[in-house]
Structure 1
Amino acid sequence: MQLTWLEDFVELARTRSFSRAAENRFVTHPAFGRRIHALEQWVGADLVARTQPLSLTPAGKLFLDAATHAIDVLHAARAQLQDTVQHPEQILRVATGRTLASTFFPGWYETINQRFGPFPVSVSTGGAQEVILRLASGDVDLLVIYSSPATRLLIDPQRYESVTLAREMLLPVSASDAKGQPKFRLPAGDATPPIPWLAFSQSLTLRGVLARHLAGLPKKLSLRTVYQADSYESILEMAKRGAGLAWLPQRLVQDDLKQGNLLLVGDADMRIGFDISLYRMRGNANALVKAIWEGVSADAVDEL
């Protein structure tokens, strides 16, 4: 099957005339007819009802959508590839979490872009295991991720190296009550009912960070899970609606704290520090990746 045949068929469907379509395609009428016939043989069905006026068969109508889509996709891919060949800029491929993609990555990218000069970047997002697999398979050059016991177990230090980009905090937050006070407070006394809790699903990186911190508190908190999600943004929305107490990344909640949509609760020992880390595969030969790595390594935040 040839792309020319698809373009012939689309032109025939547009003009509803073999002679006019052949003329527009700069081919003789007999040759045009042979190409349409060859396409029908490839499809395995008659596409054109050779009547007066010419019309498409039901199979032809169905195939017209597929042919039009295929032509658009192929031409778009060709144009993109030609542009890549003509303008062979290095594209930095980065994988990161969905929340980091909006709260941290834009500012970090702006900083390195200014430092190393403008360059294109392709960002893909997903859950922790998903983005780690993209780094492992070579689909991306860099990984920006929340650092946790789980991620450190999944990423082999013999194959990958890391550098700390920034500090982050998990903050306990609550919506306010009618008096402007936190609807949920920390810590809860033994006599009070368990605090409604908006919890992280197992797939979220920060679940392990939070669990380890809570387990290490001198006195166990009385929490009752009322909502669980694999999205920090979803938990944020539920917290603002007053559904329960939540621990959320500072960069995610800072605007809502300023606007009074959420209130910070608990003492300092209820706030949990952790890292935002950058990973790359050892031996990555990409010159742009190497330059960025050396630059950010020199500016790396000291370890906790």
Structure 2
Amino acid sequence: MGTAILKPPIFLDPDKFIGLRLGADAFIPVSAPDADGKPLFQLPGSSVNPILYLAYTATSFLGRVVEIIFRGESQQPHLKRFYEADMAMHLMRMAREGYGISWQPELAVEEVIAAGRLVRAGEGWSAELEIWSFRSISNPNQTILELWRSLENDVR
């Protein structure tokens, strides 16, 4: 089980836009824990007992990331699509309530994991997401320029 590293899928004209890499975050599978603190739903699942899957919509960026994760694995997970949404928060709430497995940005679920309300649902099966900010080079707005300088200083 590997970890996919994904570059930003945004292609902006470099003569018109400038980008700044702000950081990265792991995108991990999570599940509610059972009474022993183990995942209720553990990857890869089985054909006899597929895992209930809380999916992102196919057209969402994070939905495409999960598909990339699946393509990078030698063993395919056995999933049964149970619920679909385009917002991570909805899927996290459903996972926390024990309805299935969901992929989440680790920074978004670290407190819930620390509190024991979610656990990782398998090693590997993850991706590293890069976090970027972009701005138009021709934008003269002073507030935007000050914010950009502040971001540049924080990244360094």
How does the TM-score come out when normalised to structure 2?
A: 0.83
Higher helix residue share: 1
Q: How does 1:1-304 map to 2 (within 5 A)?
A: 148-149=8-9, 152-153=10-11, 155-189=12-46, 192-267=48-123, 269-297=124-152, 299-300=154-155
What amino acid maps onto 2:30 in structure 1? Answer: V
Q: Which runs of 5+ in 1 are unaligned?
A: 1-146
SS at match of 2:22: strand
Q: How many Å apart are 1:280 and its aligned residue? A: 0.8
Cα pair 2:44 2:76 within 8 Å, conserved: no
Q: How many Å apart are 1:275 and its aligned residue? A: 1.4
Q: How many aligned positions are there? A: 150
Q: 1:202 to 1:159 in 2, by over 3 A?
A: farther
Cα pair 1:148 1:205 within 8 Å, conserved: no
Higher strand residue share: 2
Identity of aligned residues (%): 28
- What is the CA RMSD across the aligned residues, in angstroms? 2.2
SS at match of 2:44: coil
Cα pair 1:148 1:209 within 8 Å, conserved: no
Q: 1:157 to 1:213 in 2, by over 3 A?
A: farther
Q: How many Å apart are 1:235 and its aligned residue? A: 0.6
> Which has the larger Rg?
1
How does the TM-score come out when normalised to structure 1?
A: 0.45
**Counterpart residue number, 2:4:** none
Higher RCO (CA 8 Å, separation ≥ 6 residues)? 2
User: Within 2, Cα distance between the matches of 1:195 and 1:282?
Assistant: 47
